[in-house]
Structure 1
């Protein structure tokens, strides 16, 4: 396939739909999910002073910004959908892109969708005072409804994302206002009662809360003026997330004090309860529900475009490329993604499913999954997929060096400031997170390698289309 013919296939049926605000809304909506409502207490318990915890949230933003600067160059130079899939394929060959896309489908992206769906279900049960019997139906319902919304078209999915992100930002702003205007205000220079310092562990929690901003590049071809707007969206989006995390963590300390912030498992609810009463605290459950739904919707919307790009390069997977109607919705990719997410929910989110998974693992000579060690089914899945997530992010960070060398004449409307230091810092952060996630997951890493093994089988049976030149 020549460069021109591949461009024609890539662009077929796609009129750029997403504005700058749409893209920023996607990024913020995906990143600010449920971690900000759980991670702060873990961070405060891992440091000796409040300012250290706040500083780590700022440092996490700075490291994410370094990554966003790298992605801004890549996205502006190669403004096609797929993000990491496109960059890895160009730098390391289409086989590496396939590995990434297949891992996203089988465990990383779909596992994230399932995890967020369970978070939504937990808080929905609390908000509506429902029994545990409703959990599975709430999980499945959230996945099905948001997939159906995106099947209507990209504009429908983006509109839903804008509504959810706006509501989320309004709720977080209300928490901050309540904390800073309430009568319970604590000294920000207090010592944290955590009792010890483990900066490395705290940074793991922080960077986990920042993950997801790379998804903006997955829909590059759908963004208007992508060579200009994508860098703007990446940098502005990460900047907004950093500001949110800085302000909201200050709010928790102001409302609860360092001891309260460190000991609380639900700092947002506790902060609102202290400043505005029990009735207002119940609304935090609604806010977390909206945050989870926003993260699910954004992940579903962007992830399907990775699979659609994969179908362009692999004739044997061309059926995934099918798009619906004039709006060019990747229908089959959305349906497959939803099917796998639901399959994971049933496999690791239910007792019979976990029993079946253990039987399969033992059948191939592996130990049963240590479900209890990682606090349940989906937490175990997240722990297993984390090494893949950070490993591919590290590889993508290195593509900026490789592509500058392999493709020196490519027009680069945006060039990473501080090169090569900026990408080296980003790669170092990813390398640390890869190491930490492998240490945490230990034997579970073998489970995460199963998608990689299946991708090798796919690449053996389905060869990519030949390309000519640097398209």
Structure 2
């Protein structure tokens, strides 16, 4: 293992050109980045989440609008993060941006919540979904036993952790293969929907806006369900140090992947609602499976299989990207330094991957993890809001800082950075719009789901004493100083 402490921290920057430090290999190109983003985003969400969007929106028409808005928001967010990712070209995503903008305590609180809840729970959901659908063909008349589901989920978590520890190229190859598999599944769904509509059967769309609910709190929760399916649009920023040319690869990967996902999601939902009524969608816990049972006959087994493939690829991408967050947090002194070590032969952050694997396995003590989605979304929205505010703050604080990519509202959306000029107001409009939307998503669900929001805030605040004792004051406590490895 190669130890990366505070003295070698600067050497990790890919812009520094250091030769003597142990760094992760720059082995990812544009298409690898596209596969990571698409592979993470298209997980279990599109196959099960249409129900959540419909519950809060109330109608087919508004549901489709929500799905399009979620894609647009993800695109705008990705453009803002492209500026942050190329201005601060360090792995770790939000942790690095919040640390640079607002200091170590807010960054640690993000790391704390991601450590305890966001990353391991998100990966556990993917693993449990994979296990459930992989086992379903063997349990035609009943649900698979919870113990068996958890066992299969644990096995796939350990297997993918091994793949990510052994070779980055292996991990990206797995991502590319299973990204292809999930696209095939969606092509089947979309093709079936086109066939139904092609026969002239538009009965499900006769009153598309019947039952629409426009309460702001419900709209926000509908966006939560949709954005949960788009989760992962910012994950490529976690591995920016491993991109061959981040200034070129990051924005191009965003340009290709986010519009692709949005179009695919919209077409898939059009297909769902062409076949299933709103009542049938609301009665289903897995819309794609209900869709397959209705339309595919003896080939209905394909849907559980492809959902399993989709979540397998999503879990692989989640493990790959989220482990880098803990690696960077340890490198910055917020976690034990052992997590900032790299295997000198494989050039992968093995301790961070193993630690993430352990935390994810701990989440498998129960298979009832779906109640966590709302407050996971609240926490993610809160820290994405903070990162976006950091972008605006850094534009004010460091106006002359190098910005190879700048988020703007000009014709190209992203352009090579230039000094501020008379178009400053236009240039800054895009992140301001995104910040306002994030504030909406954080504020309105408070009165709709106060328990989940209260739990989320409690978990965030519990990180304050941990930071004070484990990070700020640790040099005065010898045992803690030894644990952190400094």
Q: Report the TM-score range of the alignment, normalised by the length of the smaller protein.
A: 0.7 to 0.9
Equivalent of residue 472 in structure 2, options 426, 437, 460: 460
For residues 290 and 218 of structure 1, what CA distance do their matches in structure 2 show?
A: 24
1:69-468 superposed matches below 5 A: 69-129=79-139, 130-182=144-196, 185-187=201-203, 189-192=205-208, 195-198=211-214, 199-257=219-277, 260-261=280-281, 263-277=283-297, 279-314=298-333, 317-346=336-365, 349=366, 376=368, 378-418=369-409, 419-439=427-447, 440=449, 441-449=452-460, 450-451=462-463, 453-462=465-474
Q: 1:327 to 1:406 in 2, by over 3 A?
A: farther
Q: TM-score, length-normalised on structure 1?
A: 0.85
Equivalent of residue 36 in structure 1, options 30, 37, 46: 46
Aligned residues: 434
For residues 213 and 41 of structure 1, what CA distance do their matches in structure 2 show?
A: 22
Q: Which structure 1 residue ranges, 5 or more long, are not aligned?
A: 351-375, 464-471
For residues 373 and 465 of structure 2, what CA distance do their matches in structure 1 show?
A: 19
For residues 55 and 355 of structure 2, what CA distance do their matches in structure 1 show?
A: 41
253-262 vs 417-426, which moves further: 253-262
Aligned to 1:8: 11
CA deviation digits over 1:234-288, x for unaligned, max 9?
A: 23222121111111011112222555445544322233333321x2222211111
For residues 168 and 119 of structure 2, what CA distance do their matches in structure 1 show?
A: 19
For residues 78 and 309 of structure 1, what CA distance do their matches in structure 2 show?
A: 13
Q: Is the 8 A contact 1:269 1:281 kept in 2?
A: yes
For residues 273 and 454 of structure 1, what CA distance do their matches in structure 2 show?
A: 50
CA deviation digits over 1:146-180, x for unaligned, max 9?
A: 11110112111111111111111111111111221
TM-superposed deviation, 1:97: 2.2
For residues 286 and 248 of structure 1, what CA distance do their matches in structure 2 show?
A: 17
CA deviation digits over 1:358-391, x for unaligned, max 9?
A: xxxxxxxxxxxxxxxxxx3x22344443332221
Q: 1:445 to 1:84 in 2, by over 3 A?
A: closer
For residues 3 and 232 of structure 1, what CA distance do their matches in structure 2 show?
A: 33
TM-superposed deviation, 1:49: 4.6
Find runs of 4+ consecutive structure 1 residues off by over 6 angstroms.
1-4
Query: SS state of the match for residue 181, structure 2?
Result: helix
TM-superposed deviation, 1:407: 2.3
For residues 459 and 334 of structure 2, what CA distance do their matches in structure 1 show?
A: 26
Q: Is the 8 A contact 1:192 1:259 kept in 2?
A: no
Query: SS state of the match for residue 420, structure 1?
Result: helix
TM-superposed deviation, 1:2: 13
Q: 1:75 to 1:9 in 2, by over 3 A?
A: closer
Query: SS state of the match for residue 322, structure 2?
Result: helix
Q: Which structure 2 residue ranges, 5 or more long, are not aligned?
A: 15-21, 410-426, 476-486
Alignment root-mean-square deviation, CA: 2.6
Q: Is the 8 A contact 2:205 2:274 kept in 1?
A: no
For residues 103 and 25 of structure 2, what CA distance do their matches in structure 1 show?
A: 28
Q: Comparing both structures, which one devotes a greater share of its residues to helix?
A: 1
